[in-house]
Structure 1
Amino acid sequence: MKIDLHTHAKLSKASDFSQTYYEEMVREAMDNGLHALALTEHFNTRNFDEVYQQLDRMFPYNGEYYDAGGLKIFPGMEVDIRETGHILLIGRKEFILETRRQLNDYTEKGAFIPFDDLMDLAEALPLLKIGAHPFRESTPLHHLDHSQLQRLDAFDLNAKDMYQYGCEANQDQVQRFAAKLGKPVTAGSDTHQCLQYGSVYNELDMPCETVAELKHAILQGAYRLHVSDSLPLQVKASVMLKKLMKQIIRLETAPGIV
C-alpha cells in the first residue's frame, strides 16, 4: 500500500475548503499511484471543522478512513507547538475532532500549546504522532529535549525540505537524527495542491485498514520510503502554481474586480 503521510486539503490556511479543488487533488493522488493518504490539515486553518463536514458529504466514512473512489483518506491534522515546530496527528475522525476541540484556546501564534501538553492529549487517544519536518529553519523540532522527542512515533521526511535543502542531504540529516532517537522516518509530500503527490511516499508491505495497523507497520519497519527522481521539478512546479493561484484569488476578491 502506497501512502503519503503529510498532505493538505486547502491551498492555504486562509482559503475556504473547495469540493471541486479537493476532488481534483484526489484524482491526482490516484493518478500518481497512491492508495492512501493522511489528511493533515493545519489545526488552525480557517473553519477546520468544515473540512470534515465537507468530506462527510463527499465520501463514505467507515469509521477509520474515507473511501474516495478507492483512495483511503485517513483523518489527521498538523499542530503548532509553543516551542516552535509542527506535529502531525493521525487517527479516527472522532479522535482528531476531539483533540482539535481541546486546542480551541491555542490557535494563535504566541499561544500555541506546549509540546508536553499536546503529547498528553495525544497519548490519551490511539493516535499516530509524527514530528513534521524536524530541520525546517522556520519550524524545527531538533531543538527539543530528546526525552520529549521520544514521545513521538516517527519523524517526517518532507518533500518541501528535500527540495529546499537538497534531497540527499536532508534525507541523511533526518535519518541520522531519527536513528539517534531510535525512531522510524516516514515520508510526506506536504502538498497543498495536486502536483506534489508522488514526490515521496511510503510503501507498506501490506494494506492497512486502520490507523492502529498503520502505526504498527511503521513501528515494525514494515515499509519502504520512496523518493521520486522528479521531486525537485514537482515541488518547484507546486510552489510556483501555489503562488500563482493565491495571486488569482487575491485579484478575484479585490474591490472593483469583476
Structure 2
Amino acid sequence: MRRHVLPLLALLALTLALARAAPAGPQPALVLIPGSSQAALLGVWEGRRWLEDGDAARRVRGSEGYRVQALGGQVASARGARAESFGAPCPDAFGVTLSPGPRFPTFAVATPAGARSRPRPVTVLPVTGAVYRAAIRDELVKRGLREPAVNVTRVVRADLDGNGTDEVIVEARRFAEGSGLYPPPSGQPGDYSVLLLRHVVGNRVRTSVLGAYVALRARDPNSTDFGPLATLHALAGIADLNGDGRMEVITFGAYYEGYALTASEWTPGAGLRARLETGCGA
C-alpha cells in the first residue's frame, strides 16, 4: 500500500504546484516601454487561446496585480487600471496604467502577480564577449558592410523551451544620427540594427536572424523618398506569458514615428513563431 501512496502524494504536490503557477482567470501580458506612461497590452491568455486588441482589452477589468520584471532582474509589484485605447492613430492598440508606476531604465514585462513567468534563469551577459562580437561582425559583413563598427548593446542567455540547452540573444546597433529607441527616418552608410539568436543543433552553433537593418549608402538629398526606412530591432523581454513552461521572446521594432511589439515562441525545429503583436505608428 505504501508504494502506491507515495506516487499519489507526489502527483498531488505537482498538481498543487501547477495550480499555484497558473492563476485562474484571464492573464494579461504587458510591456513597459522606456519613457511611456502606460504599459502596452500585448494580449490576454484565456486558458486555451490568446486574445488581442479589443477582445483582450475587454478582459482587463482593472485592479489586477502584476509582477513587473526587467531583463536585468529588477522586479516590482504593481496594480493595473482598466485597459484604455491609445486613440488616433492607433485605436486598436491599448495601454494599462500601473500603480505605482515602475521606473525601470529599460524594457520590462508585467505578468499576473501569481504567475511563474521565469521558470528558468534569464541571464544578462557582458557585451564585450569576443564570440558575440564576431557573430555580429559576420552578419554585417554578410549583409554588405565591409568594415563594420561593431557595437553590441545587449547579450541575454536563457533556456527558452526547457530542453536543457541555453539560447543566446545578441543585440547590436549603430546610428550616426539619433539615439534612443527611435532611429532617424533614414540611415547613414554603416548604420545598422541587428538582433540574433544563437542556438545549438547537435554539436554545432546555429544563428537565426530575428531582425536586421543595414544602411549601405546615403539617401539622395534631392529625393523625397526616405526608403528604406531606418529600423531599430531590440529585445524587450523574455517571459512565460501563458504558463506552459516555454518562455516567449518579446521583441521591439521601431521606425522614426512608430513601433511594434511581438511575442514569439521558440523551438529548435520551427524557430521563432509569432503569437502576439501590437504597436502604434503614424
TM (norm. structure 1) is 0.25
Q: Which has the larger radius of gyration?
A: 2
Q: Which has the higher contact order (CA 8 A, sep 6+)?
A: 1
Of Structure 1 and Structure 2, the greater strand share is in: 2
